[in-house]
Amino acid sequence: MLGYAQLLSRENLTERARRRLSIIETQIHRMGEIIQHYLLQTRGTTPKDAVLINDLVRDTLMLLQPVFHERAIEVTSNCSAAAPVIYGNSDSIQRLLINLLDNAMYACEKGGTIQISTKACSPAPRPDGILVEISDTGAGIEPELLPKIFDLFVTTKPPGRGTGLGLVICQEIVRAHGGTIAVESSVGGGTLVKIYLPIDARRPTAVGTEENHERTNLDRR
C-alpha cells in the first residue's frame, strides 16, 4: 500500500489530493507501527544471536544516509572497539536504532547534527554491557511532556506526523533484552538518549582492548 501511495505522489496531483495522499501515507505508517507493537508483545524479542553493535550502527547509518543527506543533517559516529559482543535479536535492535534516529531527524527538521556512540559499561550492580548514546541538536522536548514520552500514543510530533508508538516499541525492545533506556532533553538544547544493553551472562563475551574512535560525516560520502 505504501509503495503504491508513493508512486501516486509522483503524479500530477492537485494540492488537495496531495494532502489527502499524505494522510493515507501517515495512516499506513501508523498501521505498520501498531502491527509491530503487537508482534513484539506476542512474539517477544528473545535474545538469540551474537550482535556486533558497532556493525549494526554502521549498517543502520548507511541505510538512512539518503534521508540524512536530503534533510541536510550531519551525522557522526564514535564507536569503541572495546564495545562487547552482546546476545540479542539483531532485527529488533536495528528497529530500536531506526526509531530513535528517526526521532532525532524529526527534531533536526531544519538541519542539525546527530551523533551516535557506543562503549563498554559496568553499571553496578547490573552486569557488564554496552552503552549506546544518540544525541541531536534539535528542538528538544518540553519539560511537561518529557516524563510521558514512553506512554502509549504520546508523541512530540504534531497531529498527523506521529503515532505515539515509536518510543513504546523502543522501550519494549530494550526491556526484552534486560536493558534500560533514558532520555534527557531541554527545549532548544537538543536530546540525548542513553540505552544500556547487558551481555547475556549465559554466553562468553568478546571484548576488545583498543579504542577506535570513528568519526564519519555521512553527507560527504
For 152-191, the pLDDT digits (tens) are 776 766 655 666 678 888 998 898 889 999 999 999 899 9
143 C-beta neighbours (distance < 10 Å), count: 10
Going by the DSSP 8-state scheme, the letter that residue 93 receives in this structure is: H
CA separation (Å) from 79 to 63, 118, 130? 17, 5, 11
- Tell me the residue length of the chain: 221
Is the confidence at residue 41, as pLDDT, over 70?
A: no
Q: What is the pLDDT of residues 90-116, one digit of tens each?
A: 888 998 999 899 899 988 987 899 999
Cell numbers for 61: 547509518
Taking a C-beta distance cutoff of 8 angstroms, is the pair 88, 201 a contact?
Answer: no
Cell numbers for 88: 540479542
Q: From CA 68, how far away is CA 201, in angstroms rounded?
A: 37
Which residue type does 75 have?
Answer: V
* pTM of the model as a whole: 0.72
Which residue type does 174 have?
Answer: V
For the chain, give the percent of residues with pLDDT over 70: 80
